[in-house]
Structure 1
Amino acid sequence: MDEAEEVYCIGCGAKIQTTEKDGTGYTPQGALDKGLEKGEVYCQRCFRLRHYNEIAPVSLTDDDFLRLLSQIRDDDALIVYVVDMFDFNGSMIPGIHRFVGDNPILLVGNKDDVFPKSMKRSRMKEWLKQQANAQGIRPIDVLLTSAKKPDEIETLLNTIEKYRKKRNAYVVGVTNVGKSTLINQIIRLNNGTQDLITTSRFPGTTLDKIEIPFADGKMLIDTPGIVHEDQMAHVLTGKDLKYVSPQKTIKPKTFQLSDQQTLFFGGIARFDYLRGHGAVSTYFENNLMVHRTKLANADEFYDNHVGTYLTPPDEDGLEKLPDLQRHELHLENRSDVVVEGLGWITVPEHSTVAVWAPKGISVVIRKPLV
């Protein structure tokens, strides 16, 4: 490839090169030639991810991602800040104002389709706004959306147009909040092209800025996701990730618990009800097994069955999964106890609980969403 001719992967934004097989943006010369003929060039990493669901490591570091995002504050632009409604706490960008400067923020709560229709969207929007305010974020507007609902994608695009005022619009978020999927749907809505940008459950799919032109010549820009090393996606194998991120509407499960009872969530989390009594509701991916047992038997049961009966992880994923770490919590008010990146348990007031999560995965208390 002519060094003067710069070509970029339309799947992840990486600069295409044909010489370093292990480098970012590599593609064989033959594949590049075919891609140029078709007008769609993908790097080998994106090709394998799209067709075989294989993930290849990348050489980009957190500093590389932050350097790319720091360019945003120097532009007069609209910031479209996408968070995962199912994993709000885990999808916050620490110190986001360092990246966006004084630019206005449109806060988008993505994946609202996984919540039951009985949940009022007006309440969810108000909850999202309150949570953002608690993080020091004052968005110009709050929107709920889903890439699976064309009418909501159209509303999102119209809202972006309303606030960008003939400026660029940067879409930002942590990995796995669904930014690229949303942009793919916007592209499809505009010109019918399907799945142009590479998406997957794996962190760090987008490697550089991807620019999609507006009619006025400004750009809708998909930025690399900020990588949180404490995300659940980093402690599970690709095969086990399907138990973490809901793809369909979740079906809450309610348990009448007394003191000294335990709930296992596969083999990746555990909930001990130490003191209290009442209905405990769980909100997790529908296929994640929830098993109840007595607290007195819990340690032995886990040791005997993790990786076999208690899955995920399966036996292949056991080596990657860190040890579970215990977090004891005293709750005076009805609260959500959140295992970041996995789900949450709504616990009655005046309860004492212990929640076990893989070491490095945060457990937080918040005002109930439901």
Structure 2
Amino acid sequence: MTEQETTNEELRCIGCGAVIQSEDPKEPGYTPQAAIKKGLENNELYCQRCFRLRHYNEIAPVSLTDDDFLQLLNHIRDANALIVYVVDIFDFNGSLIPGLHRFVGDNPVLLVGNKEDLLPRSLRRSRLRDWIRQQANLAGIRPIDTVLVSAKKNHQIEDLLNEIEKYRHHRDVYVVGVTNVGKSTLINQIIKQRTGVQDLITTSRFPGTTLDKIEIPLDDGHELVDTPGIIHQHQMAHVLPATALKLISPQKEIKPRTYQLSDGQTIFLGGIGRFDYLKGPKVGVVAYFDNNLNLHRTKLSNADHFYQKHLGELLTPPTLEDKEQIPPLERFEFSTSEKTDLVFEGLGWITVPKGIAIAGWAPKGVRVLTRRAMI
């Protein structure tokens, strides 16, 4: 092995944390030799994947599996650390980590609800904090505190830093979350607040951007560690092409849309979801989705034919070019006993009253579920 190759093994991408290598373009950390030299000269060494993501918004697949991601996190169980658990408020159920207790051990968990700027301002934040805490408890998580932030808008970041200092007691801090919750954006804001360095870590709306843990030194010799996003296979981000994903990921405050429905009516969520009102009196329902997602109401009796005829045109996303990449829609039926959110993971939700029968459709592999209404 040459001296250059040995040096390469010791280098890491500052965007995703992967070990830099120049042998296999399909493996994490690949960087051409010329780019390695230039990156070292500029003190900004990124792998080719992160470079393309930062400059061209292109995402390249890598060969890491779910087991690889979980294996990288297993050592947290044995650490003495504060766990900062980041969830996406807009996709709360899709943000939950199955079996979180298995790798945090006895370490305390600080729950951070990110993207609070996407929810209507009329929703009281104290009520939202209570709702998130209650939902976390139902999932078996007992956080020591709950903080709401917007990493993108830099809202409440200083409050979060104060909470971290309050609870970490001179320990390391591990930031964990599933892919696509804005974890690396949040850490970039923390770095910026403390050092003035901007956009150090690679971020995108694509899943799986951080490939290995990234360690940021704290003042007392301990570290804040950004861990790789855990792959949650039921997220919409894992079944949609990138072009469609851009059209359903809210970037600003969502505007609720209200419909008065009689039973036997359907609302299509573009071409990637569907809500059927099966049985009950005339009711009002409220839809919470990206403002640009086209919602279309029609008769339930004609819905299947309507979908086949208009998918990729009136019902977008997907586009005509992308519609073959969308898995077939799968149906889930529910009856409500209280005011309920029908959740399409990674897409949004529809709030419905108690005492009715409904069905939700989503691409095969994406979960549709019910929960106590958030709003």
Taking structure 1 as the reference length, what is the TM-score of the superposition? 0.98
- Is 1:166 equivalent to 2:166 in the alignment? no
Tell me which of 308, 313, 316 is aligned to 1:308: 313
Q: Which residue of 2 aligns with 1:96?
A: 100
Counterpart of 2:298 in structure 1: which amino acid?
Answer: T
Counterpart of 1:326 in structure 2 is 331
Q: Does 1:287 align with 2:261?
A: no
Are 2:104 and 1:110 aligned?
Answer: no
Alpha-carbon distance in 2 for matches of 1:337, 1:18: 47
What is the Cα-based RMSD across aligned positions, in Å?
1.1
Q: Give the letter aligned to residue 332 of structure 1.
A: S
- 5+ residue gaps, structure 1: none
Say which SS state the counterpart of residue 316 (structure 1) adopts: coil
Deviation at 1:19, TM superposition (A): 2.0
Give the corresponding residue for 1:80: 84
Kindly report which structure 2 residues correspond to 1:1-370, keeping only aligned pairs within 5 A, or say none: 1-4=4-7, 6-276=10-280, 277-370=282-375
SS at match of 1:170: strand
Q: CA shift at 1:243, angstroms?
A: 2.5
8 Å Cα contact 1:174/1:227 also seen in 2: yes
For residues 93-148 of structure 1, the C-alpha deviation after alignment (integer angstroms, 9 at most, x for no partner) is 00001110000000001100001111000000000010011111111101111113
CA contact 1:236–1:317 (8 Å) conserved in 2: no
- Of 309-318 and 167-176, more deviation after overlay is shown by 309-318
What is the distance in 1 between the residues matched to 2:286 and 2:54? 36
Question: Which whole-Å CA distance do the structure 1 matches of 2:176 and 2:243 have between them?
Answer: 27
Q: How far is 1:150 from its partner? A: 3.1
Q: For the residues of structure 2 that align with 1:93 and 1:7, how far apart are their CA atoms?
A: 30
Structure 2 distance, partners of 1:101, 1:316, is: 47
Q: Deviations over 1:218-252 (max 9, x none)?
A: 11100001101221011111111123221100000
Say if 1:257 and 1:279, in contact at 8 Å, map to a contact too. yes
Change in 2 beyond 3 A, CA 1:336/1:151 = closer
Question: Per-residue CA shift, 1:290-328, capped at 9, x if unaligned?
Answer: 001111221111000001110011122212211101111
Report the CA distance shift for 1:151/1:242 in structure 2 as closer, same or farther (over 3 A): closer
Per-residue CA shift, 1:70-91, capped at 9, x if unaligned?
0111110000000110111111
Alignment identity in percent? 65
Count of matched residue pairs: 370
Which AA in structure 1 matches 2:364? K
Contact persistence 1:332–1:350 (CA under 8 A): yes
Provide the rounded CA distance (Å) in 2 between the counterparts of 1:169 and 1:238. Answer: 32
- 1:187-245 Cα offsets, whole Å, 9 max, x none, are 11112212110011111000000011111111110000110122101111111112322
- Amino acid aligned to 2:226: D
Instruction: Using the TM superposition, name which of 231-240 and 123-132 deviates more.
Output: 231-240
Give the AA of the match of 2:23: T
* 1:5-54 residue CA offsets vs partner (Å, 9 max, x unmatched): 61100000000012222221011111111111111100000001111111
| Preserved contact between residue 239 and residue 365 of structure 2 (Cα < 8 Å) | no
Q: Which range is displaced more, 122-131 or 150-159?
A: 150-159
What SS is found at the alignment partner of 1:122? Answer: helix
1:151, CA displacement in angstroms? 4.6
Matched residue SS, 2:29: coil
The structure-2 alpha-carbon separation of the partners of 1:150 and 1:326, relative to structure 1 and needing over 3 Å to count, comes to: closer
Amino acid at match of 2:60: A
